[in-house]
Structure 1
Amino acid sequence: MSTDMPPGGSSERPEPEGLVSDEQWAELVRQAERGGAGAPKEPSARARMVTARLRALDEQAAQAQGRGRPWGRKQAQPWQPEGWRTGPDPRYANGRSRKRKFTAVLGFLVVLGACVVAMRPSLVTGHLPGGGDDGSGQDRPTLAQPFQGSPAVSWADGAAGIELPEAEAVGGMSEDEVGQALRATRQLLIAANLDPATLRGEKPDRALELLDPLQKGEPERLERSLAEPSEEQDPLMLFSRFDPAETQLVGEVVKTRGEMTFEAGDAGSVEVHADYTFVYPLVRPGGDEVARTIARRRLTTVLHDPEKFEATRGKLSILTSEQNFGNTACEVNDGFLHPSFPSDTPAPGPRGDEVDPYDRGAWQPDGPCGTLERS
């Protein structure tokens, strides 16, 4: 039997807790061997059990003093974090997994929500204060807040929403000439859609002055449309106009959103493409019920080099002009936009497809009048 102690060690140092002294051990052996003084006898079962237990206690005490293999959990190496082979404690692993799963699901819902709002903004604006146009009091436009309940509430005011791209030389035109074409197109949009005189139904002289009088047939067509509007020659193709006896603007702000680009035209020209939406808050004279009319315009102008074309230097020609209107009388061609108000009785007759006039991702083709999702 061995206790992993040097000879005489029991008297030279304190006995570890739970270790048996030599005297105690001898007494235990004598007690186990009582019953005769002759030759040694085989220890009894009880003695063998006591001996085994004492040996176990002795080994544990020696190990606790650092003289044997450490008992208990093996100490991890500094470069091996606890659980590096078997993985971290499952309790904490589950907690982190739940958090990651929750974050991932939340992120998906946010992205999904963003996609839904992008496709159908009315689903959100119709349930938030100041959003949608569902007829509830808090969403209806007022004299104090004429854009309430409309996406246009966050759009730019008037001309501030018509920003110009940086000019550069294209189509044989210099950078300065391209810049001139961009500025002139911006001035045309302002004069045709934001100028108070134009909106009141007066002759849009400022807009007409920007156009090339040498463009074949165009000046005459515009003059006729203003003097004798009809379905074939309608000034609304280029100008936003309201009958002052019927409606007037609420305040002085028209909301604007859009973009302008340019590209080379025929050699010696630059083409400017403008796509803008204008939102007009309106009221009947003396009334307080507010309505909105929305006009989206796609316009392409061109600036020609007079040395290569029959053109006036610095003047614009109109290549194309398209428009989509929201909240105006259909099939009326008197040269004015005619909004309906919330309290108006809906006009009889068939109702076309639903149209969102604020949706700048889809252009409504020519066809029968549709039904507005909102205005």
Structure 2
Amino acid sequence: MGKTVPEDRPGDEPPVSDEEWAEFLRRAEEGGRDAPVEPSARARMVTARLRAEESAAGRASRWSERPRKRRRLGLVLAGVSVLALSVVAVRPEAVVDGLPGAAGGSGPDAAPLAAETARPTAAPSEELFPDMPTVREPFRGSPAAAWADGAAGIQVPAAEAVGGMSEDQVAHALRSTKELLVASNLDPATLRGGHPGKALLLLDPLQKDGHGLLVKGLREPREDQDPLWLFSRFDPAEVRVVGEVVKTRGRMTFGKGDRDGSVEVRADYTFVYPLIKAKPGAEEVTRTIVRREVSVTLYDPARTVTTPGRLVVGAWNTNSGNSDCARDGDGFLHPRFQEDMTGLTPGPSGPAVDPYDRSKDLGALPQECGTVTRT
């Protein structure tokens, strides 16, 4: 049985106000961040020690990696038969319900990459990123140092009419998809484990195995209804994000949906979160990398019974690097820190995966808990 989120815990918090959300989007687009803070002498000593350990041990696979869930969601729509969709999951297969019938800065030498317009052919070279992260430069030593900041990395393609949907309808679907990615993966309240109210408002409440399943997962998280399938959430009692910047890279495409009067938007994005322990005096910075492949569809309400303007989730596929697999199902990502692993026996021994490699579909990656080669 999954545990129930008690009252007054993160997850029961009310959504942020429209004014706060607008301010967040504006700051995210402008790349706003805190001024860098010079690390203390102890922080520099810790960094030096970690570099020495890293050099001695090599860039070993020490952090757990988990393909959270690959899931295709079914629909039941008025006036048509139940769609015959294959259901694919990481472990158990499941028949799903659907609709009822009637969203720190980079290093000073980092050159920004051009926007991703096609799938890369290879992973970023590891030889170019030998350094360890610091509080001042939390993306140091990461390919993400040259990635875009937050919402600026989620670029919306130019809309055009498709699938019997007008250009304005397609533009609405694209904007809503970006807002969903931002609200699910970048909103500070969501990252702190808060209730992702803005994201849920973008989804069709008629879809039981989309919106409905996520609501259940937020109330009672467990492995078979995990809010991490769509939301990036950290336990604020454990860790906090360093600064205000999350690095983002990916692409968005669209095309005709499964019927006339629909447009499907496909998004494939990687989010890199720099983190530090919430305890007083914590100085070590680690990173958790989450990649999401999500498809959503906007239907013309004149042809299909849906909530006008709301997105229907077609599929999601998530892979998280540097999150403790042993704690799956509690609704939070759990990054691991080097200081906790010193002197311990090796952790997960599954296949090694580079979480920065965007050259393969997530479905082509190992489907069991393993290790990541770097963070």
Q: Normalised by the size of structure 2, how large is the TM-score? A: 0.64
For the 8 Å contact 2:123–2:356, the answer to whether it is kept is no
Residues 139-158 of structure 1, C-alpha deviations (whole Å, 9 max, x = no match): 11000000000000000000
For the 8 Å contact 1:281–1:291, the answer to whether it is kept is yes
Unpaired runs of at least 5, structure 1: 1-116, 126-130, 133-138
| In 2, Cα distance between equivalents of 1:369 and 1:295 | 14
* Cross-structure match for 2:354: 356
* Cross-structure match for 2:368: 368
* Cross-structure match for 2:127: 124
- Structure showing greater relative contact order (alpha-carbon pairs closer than 8 Å, 6 or more residues apart): 2
Structure 1 residues 293 and 349: CA distance shift in structure 2, 3 A: closer
Q: Which moved more, 1:362-371 or 1:162-171?
A: 362-371
The 5-angstrom pairing of residues 47-58 of structure 1 reads none
Looking at CA atoms only, which structure, 1 or 2, has the larger radius of gyration? 1
SS at 1:190's partner residue?
A: helix
* Cross-structure match for 2:201: 209
- Say if 2:320 is the partner of 1:328: no
| In 2, Cα distance between equivalents of 1:201 and 1:236 | 11
Residues 324-353 of structure 1, C-alpha deviations (whole Å, 9 max, x = no match): 111000142100000011222256555112
SS at 2:325's partner residue?
A: coil
| In 2, Cα distance between equivalents of 1:185 and 1:221 | 19
Which amino acid in 1 is paired with 2:304? Answer: F
* Cross-structure match for 1:277: 270
Unpaired runs of at least 5, structure 2: 1-119
For the 8 Å contact 1:355–1:370, the answer to whether it is kept is yes
Structure 1 residues 123 and 198: CA distance shift in structure 2, 3 A: closer
SS at 1:344's partner residue?
A: helix
Which amino acid in 1 is paired with 2:127? Answer: V
Q: Normalised by the size of structure 1, how large is the TM-score? A: 0.64
| In 1, Cα distance between equivalents of 2:160 and 2:299 | 16
| In 2, Cα distance between equivalents of 1:305 and 1:243 | 39
| In 2, Cα distance between equivalents of 1:335 and 1:160 | 27
SS at 1:141's partner residue?
A: coil
**Aligned pair partner of 1:295 in 283, 286, 290:** 290
SS at 1:211's partner residue?
A: coil
Structure 1 residues 197 and 120: CA distance shift in structure 2, 3 A: closer
1:370 CA displacement: 1.7
Which amino acid in 2 is paired with 1:361? Answer: S
* Cross-structure match for 1:35: none
Residues 196-242 of structure 1, C-alpha deviations (whole Å, 9 max, x = no match): 00000011000001111122443321111001111100000000000
For the 8 Å contact 2:133–2:286, the answer to whether it is kept is yes
* Cross-structure match for 2:260: 267
| In 1, Cα distance between equivalents of 2:262 and 2:277 | 45
Structure 1 residues 308 and 216: CA distance shift in structure 2, 3 A: farther
For the 8 Å contact 2:123–2:359, the answer to whether it is kept is no
SS at 2:274's partner residue?
A: strand
Which amino acid in 2 is paired with 1:246? Answer: E
Residues 305-364 of structure 1, C-alpha deviations (whole Å, 9 max, x = no match): 111111111111101011011100014210000001122225655511211000000234
The 5-angstrom pairing of residues 41-80 of structure 1 reads none
1:371 CA displacement: 1.6
SS at 2:338's partner residue?
A: coil
The 5-angstrom pairing of residues 36-115 of structure 1 reads none
For the 8 Å contact 1:250–1:283, the answer to whether it is kept is yes
* Cross-structure match for 1:174: 166
Structure 1 residues 350 and 124: CA distance shift in structure 2, 3 A: closer
For the 8 Å contact 1:299–1:322, the answer to whether it is kept is yes
| In 2, Cα distance between equivalents of 1:240 and 1:217 | 19
For the 8 Å contact 1:214–1:310, the answer to whether it is kept is no
Q: Which moved more, 1:212-221 or 1:245-254?
A: 212-221
| In 2, Cα distance between equivalents of 1:263 and 1:371 | 35
| In 2, Cα distance between equivalents of 1:338 and 1:177 | 39
For the 8 Å contact 2:204–2:310, the answer to whether it is kept is yes
Which amino acid in 2 is paired with 1:304? Answer: Y
